[in-house]
Structure 1
């Protein structure tokens, strides 16, 4: 190969020069379902970039390798080698060396960076990948082929639509599929909310489910959150009876949650393990508001709260400084590291809450794929020894119970929809923009006292508008 011969000849010249130029460090990205990219930043003087590499086999000196290509033109500020056919997996090692033709203003010389390697730790969504991988082809409704999906503990049929909730008949089907929560919020997010089925916060408009948070004072009277009488949900409560989920009374620094919102779930009525869930929705705007589009464990067999995991279909806080960031993925525990480890992000220039989007989670036994409007933005794989191998790093209390590689994301989950406000979904900030500190007993009161700063941001768009929720078997 003439090009490789020329490159090797130039490399020999490098040894004879005393110039100080160094080849930039390469950035390597491995993609799902296949392909990888190796690139260096464009710098004045670079005239050519060459890449030579092998997968899982060390280079024999400066051999051409399995991959051998000269890149003669930079694009978008980088010199880039792209392979579209290799199917990599976590743990694979790419061994390589790179070469640069560099002109220093007087002469052009070749420079090499030897003995480089990259270990695949994560497969990224391939740039430009369109459409979420389908769990199966459309199935004959009269034929039931086996699948790994289960519904309420029973086997499902491959490719079948197993849950379809359009809300134009919500009034008739509400009790069949959904439970509207009536309780005070608590662990693990400690949001500053009381959930109820008030017509002020929960409605169906043009066939869409609409959840609109408001101040509790707007329903019960001015400064009711500090009322000595407290608030007792009584027999209507869907939480644990005779607990803070059903009755709260202000005392000293403690006040009743200042926000009234709605939340509903399929717990006890519909749960599934593995499948594809799709939610078309418009997310809420407004400071310290956020959508609750979750899959929660039907049975917390691994431990309470997030110790049994959670899958987030879509999350984007309503603040102007946050609402251009979409998050989705899995939460593995209560501590910050466990909350963030398996979360993927998609940033954009305009708020996600500006319009409707279709949010999709493809939950398979070996990975979770996240997409929005058919564009994949994140894939979650467990480490080789499972999520339980991350116990010390993520400070997980119950990971010793995670015997399977994909645990705790290997049990049936139910669907939860709602709108939250404040609480532990917002990490503490040092810039003074967040009016409460998460673990301070007075946090809820400080949030309420600061309402003159955040309440004006709540308006007509401070609502979660859901067109439909659908689930398919794999």
Structure 2
């Protein structure tokens, strides 16, 4: 049942099996798991009148050898097993118990997932036998307290802290489970985008209405402005512009070519707190729905700022907000079409190395897991654990650590290229002098497609060493 065991346990196991009658009238308490830095872990269940013996078996990440321990006496009110095996980030620990209670035998199994040396999830089952990998030989079980530490496999990942990491280590995580955004990890962009070659019809701000946490999700909400022509637009000292403060922080009153931003949204980044080179990033998110909305889930080199233009980007995933949008060649580029890949600049022109996946449903209809595995010689793109593309070209241009960007913008020359769109599909043209004003004046064409579904909801962001 348990594979090869030590002879000293044979009599006990025989007793357990022979006494087991299948009637579960006693409920085993949940197992308490405590992790000690670099010195193993400890599991325990509380003592109760009638408890006689406890048999523990452990398996870490389905690896052999398994560990087991036979406890015949409670200590300080608990049935405790101490193990010297080290548990690392992202490990799964299977714990199985056989308990003798009033001469009857009860069994329980729990699975724990370890993230940042704390328990992320717990799965309980009433009855489960540990199954070991099939092969020519069974999994050898060893008795505590022999050490069975997990080997650290070298990783190509480099993190900004300079610490050495092992393959599979979780090196960044935000589950957005608090009351407020973690400002030590994330910083806001505060600037408008109504200028330069990538003109976007939006201003990013840190207003609570545009960015907040709710029910375990990061909410990034684009909101249409109430007016665009009256008064001037000044961000003052809050502005985070670097490249062109005079353009990104202010819009003069009465400017013929510019209006105040027609949409306010949010964009956050980890440039000041976390960056990495090579690794696996997972983002579980629900993308925004609404005409001319565009999500930013991407990485950007640390030598550039989130505020600058002509910045290379690793776009983890994007799908346009439009429910219906086709090119001149009748290609579907609506929100049913998912893309991921690279954007680089060549003499002022954007070049994209993309892979794509067409779905029957809009990617804003539900949550999906978007994954990019960034390696020296390849980028792998996945959605919901399925690979939909690999990129081999252009990787030499991303030879430094990158930080994470999350946001929702509106328009953009590259995001919605007039050259590929059918005529008169957009209520404005990218190259016309008063494009933003045309967009605003024709808001009846697009504002009805916006609503609660126009927010981007992010469940979590996780980065693993590769």
Question: TM-score, structure 1 length as denominator?
Answer: 0.60
Residues 130-152 of structure 1 show CA distances to partners (whole Å, capped at 9, x for unaligned) of xxxxxx99599897553211111
C-alpha contact 1:188 1:334 (8 A) present in aligned 2: no
Aligned length, in residue pairs? 305
Q: Does 1:460 align with 2:452?
A: yes
2:32 corresponds in structure 1 to: none
C-alpha contact 1:146 1:155 (8 A) present in aligned 2: no
Q: Does 1:323 align with 2:335?
A: yes
Cα distance, 1:469 vs. partner?
0.3
Q: Does 1:252 align with 2:256?
A: yes
Residue 212 of structure 1, aligned match among 217, 221, 224? 221
Spell out the pairing of 1:193-342 with structure 2 (5 A cutoff). 193-217=202-226, 223=227, 225-227=228-230, 229-240=231-242, 242-250=245-253, 251-300=255-304, 305-306=309-310, 308-321=311-324, 322-333=334-345, 338-340=350-352, 342=353
1:361 corresponds in structure 2 to: 372
What is the distance in 1 between the residues matched to 2:284 and 2:400?
25
Cα distance, 1:188 vs. partner?
5.6
Residues 435 and 459 of structure 1: is their aligned pair in 2 closer, same or farther, counting only changes over 3 Å?
A: same
1:451 corresponds in structure 2 to: 443
Spell out the pairing of 1:369-388 with structure 2 (5 A cutoff). 369-382=380-393, 387=394
Cα distance, 1:440 vs. partner?
2.3
Residues 282-340 of structure 1 show CA distances to partners (whole Å, capped at 9, x for unaligned) of 00100000111110111139xx634x521111110111121110010111226897433
C-alpha contact 1:268 1:298 (8 A) present in aligned 2: no
Residue 168 of structure 1, aligned match among 165, 177, 193? 177
Unaligned runs of 5+ in 2: 1-88, 93-113, 118-149, 325-333
C-alpha contact 1:192 1:444 (8 A) present in aligned 2: yes
What is the distance in 2 between the residues matched to 1:448 and 1:363?
39
Residue 422 of structure 1, aligned match among 397, 411, 415? 411
C-alpha contact 2:178 2:213 (8 A) present in aligned 1: no
Q: Secondary structure at the match of 1:300?
A: coil
Question: TM-score, structure 2 length as denominator?
Answer: 0.61
2:69 corresponds in structure 1 to: none
Residue 397 of structure 2, aligned match among 408, 418, 422? 408
C-alpha contact 1:156 1:473 (8 A) present in aligned 2: no
Residues 155 and 439 of structure 1: is their aligned pair in 2 closer, same or farther, counting only changes over 3 Å?
A: farther
C-alpha contact 2:90 2:169 (8 A) present in aligned 1: no
Q: Secondary structure at the match of 1:339?
A: strand
What is the distance in 2 between the residues matched to 1:153 and 1:188?
35
What is the distance in 1 between the residues matched to 2:349 and 2:377?
22
1:182 corresponds in structure 2 to: 190
Q: Does 1:432 align with 2:421?
A: no
Residues 183-212 of structure 1 show CA distances to partners (whole Å, capped at 9, x for unaligned) of 112556321111111122111110110011
Cα distance, 1:433 vs. partner?
0.8
Cα distance, 1:421 vs. partner?
0.6
C-alpha contact 2:293 2:411 (8 A) present in aligned 1: yes
Residues 242 and 231 of structure 1: is their aligned pair in 2 closer, same or farther, counting only changes over 3 Å?
A: same
Residues 371 and 335 of structure 1: is their aligned pair in 2 closer, same or farther, counting only changes over 3 Å?
A: farther
C-alpha contact 2:90 2:170 (8 A) present in aligned 1: no
Q: Secondary structure at the match of 1:446?
A: helix
Cα distance, 1:411 vs. partner?
1.2
1:22 corresponds in structure 2 to: none
Residues 465 and 163 of structure 1: is their aligned pair in 2 closer, same or farther, counting only changes over 3 Å?
A: same
Q: Secondary structure at the match of 1:452?
A: helix
C-alpha contact 1:192 1:421 (8 A) present in aligned 2: yes
